[in-house]
Amino acid sequence: MSWQVEFKETAKKDLEKLNPVVRVRIGKKIKFFLTQPNPLAFAVKLTDSRIGHYRWRVGNYRILFDVSNNIISILAIDHRREVYRK
């Protein structure tokens, strides 16, 4: 089963604001998750679904996303102290 990823506009803007080193690190980690048979095995289900259903952790950064069929929609990427306030 292959997974596809789509970035929402808010996630694209979040990614552009990040330090280039962090941006590369997050990109590599997303690719790693997508190459796994079940990327949701690395995710944590969020209790407040208004901001997304799942999150991945990459160091001090969080990637919030939803899943529909085999499409992962990335909603937000930010530092852990900021990402849940949006």
| Residue 13 CA from chain centroid, whole number | 13
d(CA 3, CA 39): 8
Q: What is the CATH number of the domain that holds 74?
A: 3.30.2310.20
d(CA 9, CA 76): 9
In sequence order, what are the residues at sequence separation of 6 or more whose Cβ sits closer than 8 angstroms to the Cβ of residue 14? 76, 77, 78
Counted domains in the chain: 1
Over residues 17-66, the pLDDT tens digits come to 999 999 999 999 999 999 999 999 999 999 988 899 999 999 999 999 99
**pLDDT band with cut points at 50, 70 and 90 for residue 1:** low
Domain that holds residue 74: 4-85
pLDDT at 76 over 70: yes
- Using an 8 Å Cβ cutoff, are 75 and 62 in contact? no
